Amino acid sequence: MSLAGLFNARWPGVALFDLDGTLVDSAPDLAAAVDLTLEQLGRKPAGIEQVRQWVGHGSPILMRRALAGKADWKPATNGDEALFNDSLKLFYQNYQQLNGQHSTVFAGVEACLETLSGRGCRMAVVTNKPEQFVSPLLEQMGLEHHFELVVGGDTLSTKKPDPAPLLHAMEALQGSRGTTVMVGDSAADVSAAQAAGIPCVAVTYGYNFGRSVQALGADAVVDSLSELL
């Protein structure tokens, strides 16, 4: 599918966007919250470059990885589970204070959203970030007015790569598989879109656990969302 044909005056009617790593570089705030949590637990901080490799599957998985010190964490024992629960509570408290302080909007995002809004495209954010943090971050970044709907990682009983959040958003915005596109940065986004039966655009600059996005099978891969205009 060519970029020239992916967006035009009539299509898409609905666009679904991932948040972290697609619209907003939130890794600095996430890393600060993770590191503060680890320090409160008497552990060494992970650092932003490590945290960038762990983002994408929601806050619980992020903290699992932080406690393990690696992306490939193992299921916890009962004793570790208590530590995990404490760490997640601390992380939420820390991130609540930091959310948006050091985050920035990626280049090309605002131009893309403005153009789609002007064409009457209905838009939603579909993210694995807990819902309570999504709208405040969008407001802090000045992006909230573009979106009619937010679907967080805890809005439904499942999150990406399950297709349910995408299908929920598509139906809520009265889209169809022929008029809806997903825009994301990771395997979770592409897999969810494929399972939902809608095309997907993948960006190269986001958080895909250090892996190349070119091999994910997205319908288009771009270095900036401005390339879609």
Q: Which of the residues are catalytic? A: 18
Task: Return the axis-axis angle of helices 27-40 and 59-68, rounded to nearest 10°.
Answer: 50
Strand, helix or coil for residue 20: strand
Q: In terms of C-beta distances under 8 Å and separation of at least 24 residues, what long-range contacts does 114-122 make, across chains too?
A: 114/146, 115/7, 115/229, 116/7, 116/12, 116/15, 116/146, 117/146, 119/9, 120/13, 121/12, 121/13, 121/14, 121/15, 122/13, 122/14, 122/15, 122/148, 122/173, 122/174, 122/175
